[in-house]
Amino acid sequence: MHHYEKIAAAIAYIHAHHTEQPSLDEIAAAVHLSPYHFQRLFTEWAGVSPKKFLQYISLQHAKGLLAKDHTVEQATFETGLSGTSRLHDMFVNLEAMTPGEYRNGGEALTIRYHFMDTAFGPMLAAATEKGICSIAFADDRTAALEDLRRQWPQAKFLEEVSPFISSVKAYFEEMEQDTAKAKNEKAIRLHVKATPFQLKVWEALLKVPAGQVATYARIAEQISHPKAARAVGTAVGDNPVAFLIPCHRVIKSTGIFGGYHWGPVRKTAILGWESARNQPLVLTAAEE
């Protein structure tokens, strides 16, 4: 059990009361848990205490990451493969569909889909015969499935686990247990609708390691379109594959996390979780 609902409620409360700097007791009360149970639940989920997690989602920490004068590619090679999310990023194979593959609303496509539970809430994963075509957070299963069907109105849908979906399920399970380095050696294949520009942006996102962040301007520079930061933002927002293409790692140049298709609370949760597992703190703080 991932307890994401309680974690999200706690982060939402922290955001709403950040000027008051709520105590552990106050946050725990807001999510209807004792301080002891909240601390234990949160630490089990994040790998660090709530107090330390707050440092990882602070503006100061984000600014510290952005202040590192590294290109996306330099950051990738310098961090190496020591973390599960970093390893995963090296094993994603991104392929764009041909116009014929998604012409007429996907009439010739068979799309298999499956709901799964993850550390960041329920997800809906869908795959064609060539790879994963969509991953979306699915707090409302009916709405998530309806949205998928709207994207492919003529496709045939089957609720079953394909080999591509199995690889995604295994990745999320291994990621949480930090065993992906040992097991996740086969590429996760993505098969998505994309313009050439979108494909360049999404490929650049795959080079941003877990625990690191990039700005829209930096991604634009990385794909040799330095004046296209706004267009990059649009392409980031159009990303059809949640988490595996890490659009959550793009933030504003001010250090503010900014918007996210699945909400600012979830973006904050993911960025904090990744930083806690993959990055030393940028700011100095007393250990608990």
pLDDT score, position 2 = 65
pLDDT score, position 106 = 85
The CA distance from 166 to 162, in Å, is: 6
Domain boundaries, the chain: 63-278
Question: Is pLDDT at 206 greater than 80 in this prediction?
Answer: yes
| Section 131-154 average pLDDT | 95
Helix, strand, or coil (residue 256) = coil
Helix (H) or strand (E) holding 133: strand 132-137
Helix (H) or strand (E) holding 127: strand 121-127
Question: Burial level of 64, CB count in 10 A (0-12/13-18/19+)?
Answer: middle
Pick from 138, 133, 134, 132: nearest CA to 120: 138
Share of the chain above pLDDT 90, in %: 61
Question: Burial level of 29, CB count in 10 A (0-12/13-18/19+)?
Answer: middle
| Section 266-277 average pLDDT | 94
How many CB atoms are closer than 10 A to CB 22?
18
pLDDT digits (tens, 9 = 90+) for 212-235: 999 999 999 999 999 999 999 999
The CA distance from 184 to 207, in Å, is: 18
* Eight-state DSSP code of residue 83: S
Residue 15 banded pLDDT, cuts 50, 70, 90: confident
Question: Burial level of 140, CB count in 10 A (0-12/13-18/19+)?
Answer: exposed
Strands 92-96 and 132-137: unpaired
133 is catalytic: no
Cβ atoms of residues 93 and 285 within 8 Å: no
Q: Pick the catalytic residue: 247, 250, 271, 282?
A: 247
For domain 63-278, the CATH class is mainly alpha
Question: Is pLDDT at 150 greater than 60 in this prediction?
Answer: yes
Mean pLDDT score across all residues of the chain: 85
Cβ atoms of residues 240 and 221 within 8 Å: no
Q: How many residues does the chain have?
A: 288
The CA distance from 164 to 158, in Å, is: 14
The CA distance from 179 to 185, in Å, is: 11
Question: Is pLDDT at 40 greater than 90 in this prediction?
Answer: yes
Question: Is pLDDT at 90 greater than 60 in this prediction?
Answer: no
pLDDT digits (tens, 9 = 90+) for 153-192: 999 999 999 999 999 999 898 887 764 443 445 678 999 9
